[in-house]
């Protein structure tokens, strides 16, 4: 692999950016992150209404979430690889442009099929933003200093997560706007982010003569997609123990095995396998998958629980998500500041994983009669755990790899966390649909599910009182079961985190470390 001289930029390669320059560059990144967060949270409270209006089923509900996660997951490694080839600023702007296109299609969708396509386009854009924002941060800021900016990231995350459900609820409840504006409202913010990035983000571009391993990318995407589609359909469209299950599971595993073979032989693989020789990266990767399964798999269905089981409006459902967001915001900000001050980080990983387990188990006890106060406490506990754990897994991996592997390590962790989330949403969504169908059949008879098929998400306003109570009870029990299923994954995440070895945090930025490493390599060559 050879490198050409980087083009002229406002800062010399390897030079430390001033705090003012970093904050200016962060402005565009923060707006982009806000848009990505808003896109998922603003839709959460609108999904029950969207599904009812477009006559979708519980499986479609799951796939509106899963399709974006799947597209984001599959493309994260590719975005990370392209960051080594092209301008990071250009790539982020491209990803945001795709997000605009997906949002416009979603806002104008005539049916669930087109909506699913638009979510894929949004997911591809979100994959770029997710991978590149963290890579850019690591290039500009030393690991030891990242905690200083955790408050800013935490504030943006908190505002996006809090504002999303509230905005979505208001839009859905406003007759002259409606749920379509949940997709369209993000467009101006995305365009603003593109303009800000053009004006403020200046990074040295080190272009390398490398090729993208398209065969590996296709095999990884096909293998992951096959397994996710299987986990979504199994138990509803066909039995878990069936010919279709055998075909799709074996097919997915074979595709991923071929991907490993191709990646091992590729000159510039999408997912460099040798990076897993690093113990911290390997353990952080496994923990990220488990956190994704546990966290996303359960919480993505909470809004449906608020509206169907508790009978809340979309706006109230948005307000009910505040405790978890507040817990996450406070814990991630405080942990980041303490890590910067003292340079120690493993204790927050362990504590976060332990608290997340407690939160999952507490949410496993909810039902249609759970009070809002009790539910808020349970959600806050889960938020505190996730806030301490999720982002610090990325920090641990970035701190323990050479500068030239920062992009690869970051995209690998992000990829597997997103894959865990997609698997969690898909698999637990299938569990929820199957549980709802069986409970509805048990309590109301086969007619409740159209003769035994997957039940459509009900329109509560059209149900008679006795049936309404049964439906609320069913969704309460089924949602609690998801957290009980997800809790063992959180336990495994804690066990994995315990084996991560704590190492001192670097005091140089990624660009500074890269410059030193390249200078040392050139000196050794002479």
| Each residue's pLDDT tens digit, 163-203 | 777 787 788 887 778 888 888 888 888 888 888 888 777 76
pLDDT of amino acid 287 = 92
> Residue 456: what are its φ and ψ, rounded to 5°?
-70, 150
| pLDDT tens digits, 92-107 | 889 999 989 998 998 8
- pLDDT surpassing 80 at residue 206: no
Residues of the chain with pLDDT > 70, as a percent, come to 83
Q: What is residue 496's three-state secondary structure?
A: helix
pLDDT of amino acid 4 = 40
- pLDDT surpassing 60 at residue 451: no
pLDDT of amino acid 159 = 67
pLDDT of amino acid 3 = 40
Residue count of the chain: 526
Q: Is the model more confident about 75 or about 456? A: 75
CB 46 within 8 A of CB 182: yes
pLDDT of amino acid 452 = 46
| pLDDT tens digits, 76-90 | 777 877 776 777 778
Q: pLDDT-derived band of residue 7, with 50, 70 and 90 as boundaries?
A: very low
SS3 content of the chain, % helix, strand, coil (to 5): 75, 0, 20
Q: Torsion angle of alpha carbons 6, 10, 14, 19, nearest 10°? A: -150
- pLDDT surpassing 60 at residue 450: no
pLDDT of amino acid 201 = 76
Residues 6+ apart with CB under 8 A from 70: 120, 123, 224, 225, 228, 422, 426
pLDDT of amino acid 211 = 67
Segment 402-417 mean pLDDT? 76
* Closest among 92, 97, 99, 144 to 123, alpha carbons compared: 99
- pLDDT surpassing 70 at residue 33: yes
Q: Which CATH number fits domain 19-199+270-453+463-525: 3.30.420.40, 1.20.1250.20, 3.60.21.10, 3.40.50.300?
A: 1.20.1250.20
- pLDDT surpassing 50 at residue 13: no
List the Cα angle 330/331/333 in 5-degree steps: 65
Structure tokens at 393: 């897994």
Q: pLDDT-derived band of residue 220, with 50, 70 and 90 as boundaries?
A: confident
Q: Is the model more confident about 479 or about 70? A: 479
| pLDDT tens digits, 129-162 | 877 887 777 777 777 676 666 556 656 766 676 6
> Residue 430: what are its φ and ψ, rounded to 5°?
-65, -40
- pLDDT surpassing 90 at residue 5: no
- The 3-class SS string of 79-125 reads HHHHCCCCCHHHHHHHHHHHHHHHHHHHHCCCCHHHHHHHHHHHHHH
Q: pLDDT-derived band of residue 340, with 50, 70 and 90 as boundaries?
A: confident
> Residue 403: what are its φ and ψ, rounded to 5°?
-60, -35
d(CA 348, CA 388): 6
Q: Evaluate if pTM is beyond 0.75.
A: no
pLDDT of amino acid 488 = 92
Instruction: Scan for tokens 């930025």, then name that residue.
Output: 509
* Closest among 471, 424, 478 to 449, alpha carbons compared: 471
Q: Give one DSSP letter per residue of 192-225, joined into a string.
A: HHHHHHHHH-------B-----HHHHHHHHHHHH
Q: pLDDT-derived band of residue 14, with 50, 70 and 90 as boundaries?
A: very low
Least confident of 122-136, 235-249, 457-471: 457-471
pLDDT of amino acid 509 = 64
Residues 6+ apart with CB under 8 A from 342: none
Structure tokens at 84: 């080594």
d(CA 61, CA 52): 10
List the Cα angle 236/242/243 in 5-degree steps: 120
């Amino acid at each position: 692999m050879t490198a050409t001289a980087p083009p002229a930029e406002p800062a010399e390669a390897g030079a430390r950016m001033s705090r003012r320059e970093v904050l200016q560059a962060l402005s565009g990144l923060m707006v982009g992150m806000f848009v990505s967060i808003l896109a998922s949270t603003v839709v959460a409270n609108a999904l029950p209404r969207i599904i009812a209006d477009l006559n979708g089923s519980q499986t479609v509900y799951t796939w509106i979430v899963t399709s974006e996660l799947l597209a984001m997951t599959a493309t994260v490694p590719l975005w990370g690889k392209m960051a080594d080839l092209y301008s990071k600023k250009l790539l982020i702007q491209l990803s945001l442009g795709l997000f605009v296109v997906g949002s416009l299609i979603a806002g104008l969708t005539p049916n669930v099929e087109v909506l699913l396509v638009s979510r894929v386009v949004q997911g591809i854009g979100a994959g770029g933003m997710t991978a590149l924002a963290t890579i850019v941060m690591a290039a500009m800021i030393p690991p030891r200093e990242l905690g200083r900016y955790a408050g800013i990231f935490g504030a943006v995350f908190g505002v996006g997560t809090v504002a999303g459900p509230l905005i979505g609820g208001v839009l859905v409840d406003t007759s002259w706007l409606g749920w379509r504006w949940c997709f369209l409202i993000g467009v101006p913010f995305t365009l603003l982010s593109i303009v800000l990035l053009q004006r403020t983000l200046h990074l040295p571009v080190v272009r390398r003569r490398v090729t993208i391993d398209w065969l590996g990318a296709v095999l990884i995407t096909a293998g992951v997609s096959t397994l996710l589609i299987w986990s979504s359909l199994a138990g509803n469209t066909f039995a878990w123990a069936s010919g279709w299950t055998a075909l799709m599971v074996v097919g997915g595993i074979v595709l991923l095995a071929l991907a490993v073979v191709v990646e091992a032989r590729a000159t510039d693989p999408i997912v460099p396998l040798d990076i897993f020789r690093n113990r911290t990266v390997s353990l952080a990767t496994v923990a990220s998958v488990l956190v994704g399964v546990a966290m996303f798999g359960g919480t993505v269905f909470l809004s449906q629980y608020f509206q169907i089981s508790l009978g809340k409006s979309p706006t109230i459902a948005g307000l009910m998500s505040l405790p978890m967001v507040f817990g996450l915001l406070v814990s991630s900000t405080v942990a980041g500041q303490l890590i910067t001050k003292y340079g120690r980080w493993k204790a927050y990983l362990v504590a976060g994983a332990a608290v997340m387990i407690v939160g999952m188990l507490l949410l496993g006890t909810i039902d249609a009669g759970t009070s809002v106060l009790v539910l808020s406490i349970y959600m806050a506990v889960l938020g505190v755990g996730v806030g301490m754990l999720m982002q610090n897994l990325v920090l641990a991996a970035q701190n323990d790899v050479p500068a030239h592997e920062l992009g690869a390590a970051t995209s690998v962790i992000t990829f597997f966390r997103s894959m865990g989330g997609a698997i969690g949403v898909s698999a637990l969504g299938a569990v929820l649909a199957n549980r709802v169908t069986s409970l509805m059949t048990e309590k109301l008879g086969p007619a409740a599910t159209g003769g035994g098929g997957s039940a459509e998400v009900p329109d509560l306003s059209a149900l008679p009182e006795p049936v309404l109570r049964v439906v609320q009870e069913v969704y309460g029990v089924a949602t609690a079961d998801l957290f009980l299923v997800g809790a063992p994954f959180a336990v495994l995440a804690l066990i994995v985190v315990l084996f991560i070895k704590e190492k001192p945090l670097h005091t140089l930025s990624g660009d500074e470390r890269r410059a030193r490493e390249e200078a040392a390599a050139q000196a050794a060559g002479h």
